[in-house]
């Protein structure tokens, strides 16, 4: 969460009119922050406006969710990643959510 927290701090600082890039203290955190920053920059280009405010809200929620996962599984270093994997596995290609263990029938796409 080092990279996400640093990116949140960078966006919040910029919102106050100060340009300062907060740097994550770990190499994985730096990679995460860099990737997310590129993702939000691309989203801003596509929308024709800054999405930094929206990004801050999304990233804050991710940090809170990761903290909750860590509290629920204090002995696990990967509790948040496991939660994210389960959440992604419960959605099919069309973005429909399904209950865990529910059988999903394949969809045939006709031209």
Distance of CA 106 to the CA centre of its chain: 28
Distance CA 91, CA 47 (A): 26
Of residues 45, 41, 9, the one with CA closest to residue 24: 9
Of residues 38, 40, 9, the one with CA closest to residue 23: 9
Domain boundaries, the chain: 2-73
Q: What is the mean pLDDT of the chain?
A: 82
Residue 98: which pLDDT band, with cuts at 50, 70 and 90? low
Q: Percent of the chain at pLDDT above 70?
A: 80
Q: Percent of the chain at pLDDT above 90?
A: 38
Residues 1-47: pLDDT tens digits?
788 899 999 999 988 999 899 999 999 889 999 999 999 999 999 99
* Cβ proximity of 59 and 4 under 8 Å: yes
Per-residue model confidence (pLDDT) at position 110 = 46
């Amino acid at each position: 969460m080092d990279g996400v927290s640093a990116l949140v701090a960078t966006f919040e600082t910029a919102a106050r009119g100060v340009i300062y890039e907060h740097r994550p203290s770990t190499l994985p955190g730096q990679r995460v922050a860099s990737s997310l920053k590129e993702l939000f920059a691309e989203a801003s280009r596509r929308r024709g406006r800054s999405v930094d405010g929206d990004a801050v809200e999304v990233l804050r929620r991710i940090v809170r969710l990761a903290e909750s996962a860590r509290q629920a599984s204090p002995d696990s270093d990967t509790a948040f990643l496991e939660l994210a994997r389960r959440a992604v596995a419960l959605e099919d290609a069309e973005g429909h959510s399904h209950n865990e263990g529910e059988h999903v029938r394949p969809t045939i796409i006709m031209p």
